Structure 1
Amino acid sequence: MNIEENQELKTAVVAIIGRPSAGKSTFLNTACQEMVSIVSPIPQTTRNAIKGIVNTSLGQLIFIDTPGYHDSEKKLNLRLRSVTESQLEDIDAVLYVIDSTRETGEEENHTAALLEKLQDKVVIAINKTDLAQARPEKIRSFIKNALPEVPDNRIFEMSAEKDIGINEVLKGLYDISPVAAPIYDEETYTDQDLTFRVQEVIRGEAINRLEQEIPHAVYVTVADVERRNEGKKLWIRAFLCVERDSQKGIVIGKGASKIKEIRAAALKKLNQIYIQKVELDLQVKVDKNWRQKDNTLTRLIPE
């Protein structure tokens, strides 16, 4: 993106909102050109408000990738909804990502309703328009009814996975962003600390290798981080936690094959992220019925 030299830079905090699997995390990773947020075909992969930072010649956009907004009264889902709703406070703009291959329905209605009073701050990205089953015209009709104050020049079609239309979406967000100095330096693409990033990398590799309900029953905790060899090596001990003993056996796999596979994939990704050589000790343990424990949910998903 090229601009005139005398044009003032803009900076904005942008909440990304949408239903589970709409493509929010894929958009964030593509825009940042780094793995910031877990991408998975498993719905509701994102559990925290994940921050990714995009720097261009127009300025800086600080994205907050929120959990998919999902109708459910389960404790975990209620916590995720609370995280999403809280991120709509004190933001400069909202990017509403809609999957053009799915029918809208009640869940999309509820998601759009969250933005009813924020329409002057909303940019809409109609995602997955590269797919044969995409119906962007139906989504535009839905938007016209649900969010009539969002003008056509703030509604874009894109494929986050194929990196189609991303620049146009970013330009739309800059157009409504305030003039302000950048908050982060231009080399920064996330503010996640080491422990959180390690946990998310391991969880991402685990959930994409586990079946059915188990991905939602998994969380990761980092027990120890040691800097060795004068800081040239990172030694990490982490635990993949599940809810039941029967799940532990599935995650470990026959002859420890599954946990070895998860560890190898996570280790490869961590060594791509960090300059230091990473060594990972990964084990599995049971935290019985953790999704029903308020203290565990508060620790993993702070509001």
Structure 2
Amino acid sequence: MTNEANDAQPPVGPKTALVTIIGRPSAGKSTFLNTAAGEPVSIVSAIPQTTRNAIRGIVNTSLGQLVFVDTPGYHESNKKMNLKMRNIVADQLSNADAILYILDSTRPCGEEEKLIIDLVSSHAEKLVIAINKIDEINAKPESVRKFLNETLPEFPVKKILEISAKEDKGINEVLKELYEIAPEAPHLYAEEFYTDQEVDFRIAEVIREQAINRLEQEVPHCIYVQIADMEMRTPTKMWCRAFLVVEKESQKGIVIGKGASMIKTIRVESIKALRKIFDYKIDLDLQVKVDKNWRQKDITLDRLLK
């Protein structure tokens, strides 16, 4: 046997990691996931607390497979719904192979960031940090770095990266750092997959995105979408009945709009968005109904928040 044979390294197997994304509301977690996956996996809105579930997006490259879990924005709140969403975040951290912590460089780092630091500090060996929105005119990444140096003084500088998820800047560098952490393991999904979401969940999220981006004040937070029925009527056309569900009778009229103008717009724009996702047309029957004080009902929250 030659010395060259003795020195040969065993072949490296495929790398696969379950990556939990964590950050404050509106830090850009969903935008990062959609940019990295190259598809609209998670809904995006300027309204905080848009993401309510742990949503998976899958990135396949020559380096391996990263299965991202976009979690609800982590923040201080005693409301029942927000407490349940915080539990979702904590559960995902414990199951992750890697953690991506995204900070917003346009906002000061305060108590909520310290809460997140407390969560991730015990997982430093599998943590990558991304300072987002560096393209914004009021971005202050140096201030974020100072905060991180004070709260995580031993954390490697090379694992703190500056990005613009919206402009697709620095994303590849973040992926490379995550692949460094990823263990050798078989891929969890076929390479053509970019999400594991069921059809009904994706339809509901698209409708909710179109609704919350058109409604004002507290109404977006009072909405969930119920898919009542789906049926493939031809190989290229699905019929779907869905309800936009609100908490109060007074909100019903706001969602319907004058002369049903608002619900019509939400329906039409939802159909347009769904055509970009599915390779068949979706005929959407969209209505509005009331589930009084649903955010206080455990049975409803347990069904919606997973």
Alpha-carbon shift at residue 8 of structure 1 (Å): 4.0
Aligned match of 2:39 = 34
Aligned match of 2:59 = 54
Give the Cα separation in 2 of the matches to 1:99 and 1:250: 32
Aligned match of 2:49 = 44
Alpha-carbon shift at residue 7 of structure 1 (Å): 5.3
The runs of 4+ residues in structure 1 deviating greater than 3 Å are: none
Identity fraction in percent: 62
Aligned match of 2:95 = 90
| Gap regions ≥5 residues in structure 2 | 1-10
Give the Cα separation in 2 of the matches to 1:148 and 1:57: 33
Aligned match of 1:191 = 196
- Count residues with an aligned counterpart: 296
Alignment counterpart, residue 280 of structure 2, candidates 254, 276, 281: 276
What is the RMSD computed on CA atoms of the aligned residues?
Answer: 0.9
Larger of the two Rg values belongs to structure: 2
What SS does the aligned partner of 2:276 have? helix
Give the Cα separation in 2 of the matches to 1:91 and 1:253: 43
What SS does the aligned partner of 2:50 have? coil
Retained in 1: the 8 A contact 2:12–2:184? Answer: no
Alignment counterpart, residue 27 of structure 2, candidates 3, 14, 22: 22
Structural mapping, 1:170-185, within 5 Å: 170-185=175-190
What SS does the aligned partner of 2:19 have? strand
TM-score between the two structures when normalised by the length of structure 2: 0.95
Alignment counterpart, residue 68 of structure 2, candidates 59, 63, 67: 63
Alignment counterpart, residue 214 of structure 1, candidates 211, 216, 219: 219
| Gap regions ≥5 residues in structure 1 | 1-5
Query: Which amino acid is 2:48 matched to?
Result: P
Deviations along 1:218-261, whole A, 9 cap, x unmatched? 000100000112x2211000000000111000000000000000
Aligned match of 2:294 = 290
Alignment counterpart, residue 174 of structure 2, candidates 169, 176, 183: 169
Alpha-carbon shift at residue 90 of structure 1 (Å): 2.1
Alpha-carbon shift at residue 280 of structure 1 (Å): 0.2
Aligned match of 1:130 = 135
User: 1:79 aligned to 2:118?
Assistant: no
Deviations along 1:135-183, whole A, 9 cap, x unmatched? 1111111111222232011110000000000000101111111122211
TM-score between the two structures when normalised by the length of structure 1: 0.96
Give the Cα separation in 2 of the matches to 1:237 and 1:14: 34
Give the Cα separation in 2 of the matches to 1:174 and 1:238: 40
Aligned match of 1:237 = 241
